[in-house]
């Protein structure tokens, strides 16, 4: 924990000195957070064999807000989400979801505990139809009223037109809508989104991010968003966490991060 804090202050020395680097330094206790934390990641480390992919990462996702995790290729962003949802087992640290320690919970149990993880590359099951993809996402809930499916289709009319087609006929943007819709059917406490902008045209990226923002504002969704496209991500996020070589470099208000030129140049590439 102290390690993460130290890194926070290193970064602040470079740029916006004097700003509150709340979550990174304060960690679990909440720091300067204005909203209650839904998901807390405490001192999380993970490795692929001898390669340390995450080192002592501490951050949190707050209720009704978008927390963006940014960083270059190989910074550990995807590994972070995969470790949070249990696909990768951490070597140290804890993941707390809604007050419950879920660090060792099986992957299959995460969604029932309120965590929906949309993996990189969209995670549609291309061989199933659009409708079946949605239904798989709600299987664990037992019988789900059909109005909930209709709500998703109302929100994403583009995929409603194709509900009986197999998902491999969908465009990249439509696939992203499908997986977000599917995640909503799980009624998650926190939604983990891995690189939703990947391979999408800028116009579609803007659309997708606007939809996510809208869902957060109207449905009280909480989102942990991992993005390489820092500019777009910071434009919709409330909080930004910058990851570099598996460590948290800085955690700050998204608008302030976007305005911090040195930081942007050093880590975010815009």
Partner 1 sequence: MREFINLTLGGVITGAVYAAFALALVLIWRSTRIVNFAQGAMAAITTFIALSLIESGQSYWVGLAVALLAGLVLGAVVERLVIRPVEGGPELNAVIVTLGLFIAIQALISVLFGVNQRAFVAPFSTIGFRVGDSSLALSPNTLFTLGAVLLVMVGLTALFRYTRVGLAMRASAFGQEVARLLGVRVGRMLTLGWALAAVVGSLAGMLIAAEVTFVTPTYMDALIVFGFVAAVLGGLDSPVGAVVGGLLLGLLLSYVRGYVGDELVGLAALAVLVVVLLVRPGGLFSTTQTRRA
Residues that bind partner 1 (CB under 8 A): 85, 87, 107-112, 116-117, 119, 123-128, 132, 135-137, 139-140, 182, 186
Please, what is the minimum distance in Å from the beta carbon of residue 113 to partner 1?
10
Q: Which residues pair with 191 in a beta bridge?
A: 116, 223
**Could you please report the per-residue DSSP string of 225-268?**
EEES-HHHHHHH-SEEEEEETTEEEEEEEHHHHHH-HHHIIIII
Kindly tell me which of 63 and 135 has the beta carbon lying closer to partner 1. 135
Kindly tell me which of 136 and 201 has the beta carbon lying closer to partner 1. 136
Exposed/middle/buried for 17, CB within 10 Å: 0-12, 13-18, 19+? exposed
Q: How far apart are CA 123 and CA 183, in angstroms?
A: 11
Please, what is the minimum distance in Å from the beta carbon of residue 107 to partner 1?
5
Kindly tell me which of 111 and 248 has the beta carbon lying closer to partner 1. 111
Please, what is the minimum distance in Å from the beta carbon of residue 142 to partner 1?
9
Please, what is the minimum distance in Å from the beta carbon of residue 126 to partner 1?
7
Tell me which H or E stretch contains 131: helix 130-138
**Structure tokens given for 150:** 């209709």
Please, what is the minimum distance in Å from the beta carbon of residue 81 to partner 1?
10
Q: Please name the residue that has the structure tokens 């208000």.
A: 253
Kindly tell me which of 182 and 264 has the beta carbon lying closer to partner 1. 182
Kindly tell me which of 20 and 166 has the beta carbon lying closer to partner 1. 166
């Amino acid at each position: 924990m102290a390690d993460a804090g130290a890194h926070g202050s290193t970064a602040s020395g470079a740029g916006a000195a004097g700003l509150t680097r709340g979550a990174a330094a304060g960690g679990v206790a909440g720091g300067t957070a204005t909203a209650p934390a839904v998901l807390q990641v405490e001192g999380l480390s993970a490795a692929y064999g001898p390669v340390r992919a995450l080192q002592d990462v501490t951050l949190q996702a707050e209720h009704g807000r978008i927390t963006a995790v940014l960083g270059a290729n190989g910074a550990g962003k995807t590994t972070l989400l995969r470790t949070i949802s249990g696909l990768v087992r951490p070597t140290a640290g804890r993941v707390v979801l809604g007050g419950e320690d879920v660090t060792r919970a099986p992957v299959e149990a995460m969604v029932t505990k309120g965590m929906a993880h949309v993996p990189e590359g969209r995670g549609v099951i291309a061989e199933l139809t659009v409708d079946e993809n949605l239904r798989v996402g709600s299987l664990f809930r037992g019988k789900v009223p059909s109005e909930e499916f209709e709500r998703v289709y109302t929100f994403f009319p583009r995929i409603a037109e194709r509900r009986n087609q197999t998902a491999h006929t969908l465009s990249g943007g439509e696939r992203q809508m499908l997986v977000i819709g599917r995640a909503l059917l799980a009624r998650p406490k926190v939604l983990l989104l891995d690189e939703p902008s990947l391979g999408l045209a800028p116009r579609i990226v803007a659309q997708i991010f606007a939809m996510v923002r809208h869902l957060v504002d109207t449905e009280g969704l909480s989102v942990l968003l991992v993005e390489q496209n820092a500019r777009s991500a910071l434009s919709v996020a409330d909080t930004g966490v910058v990851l570099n070589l598996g460590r948290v470099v800085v955690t700050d208000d998204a608008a302030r991060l976007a305005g911090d030129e040195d930081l942007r140049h050093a880590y975010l590439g815009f």
